Copies of this chain bind each other. A is one copy, B any other.
């Protein structure tokens, strides 16, 4: 039981992944790709309720994945950690590989129509 990483380290890494393990949060992050947006803009763009968007943003903020700027009544959020998109791209390419593998597995004994 030799351990390369401490429990705490693994919890931290897992915690980061957990933040990204939610479709709605990914949608919000993607909406922020083009630059900062206010909460109501994000509500309109994602189709989620205001309370929900706010909660997700708060979580992303606590993990320093987004930062925010208050201007009058509005709060503008923006991506603070650009590695997020690298992560997503890696996952996407890995998913494509997986789908390709499934496709090949199905095609191994092709149905001759």
Interface residues on A, range: 35 or more
Whether A97 sits at the interface, judged by CB under 8 Å, is yes
Whether A103 sits at the interface, judged by CB under 8 Å, is no
Most buried by B among A5, A18, A20: A20
Copies in the complex: 2
Whether A55 sits at the interface, judged by CB under 8 Å, is no
Contact across chains for B26 and A14 when beta carbons are under 8 A apart: yes
Within 8 A of B (CB), among A1-46: 1-5, 7, 10-18, 20-23, 25-27, 30, 44-46
Q: Which A positions have Cβ atoms within 8 angstroms of B? A: 1-5, 7, 10-18, 20-23, 25-27, 30, 44-47, 63-64, 81, 83, 86-88, 90-95, 97-98, 101
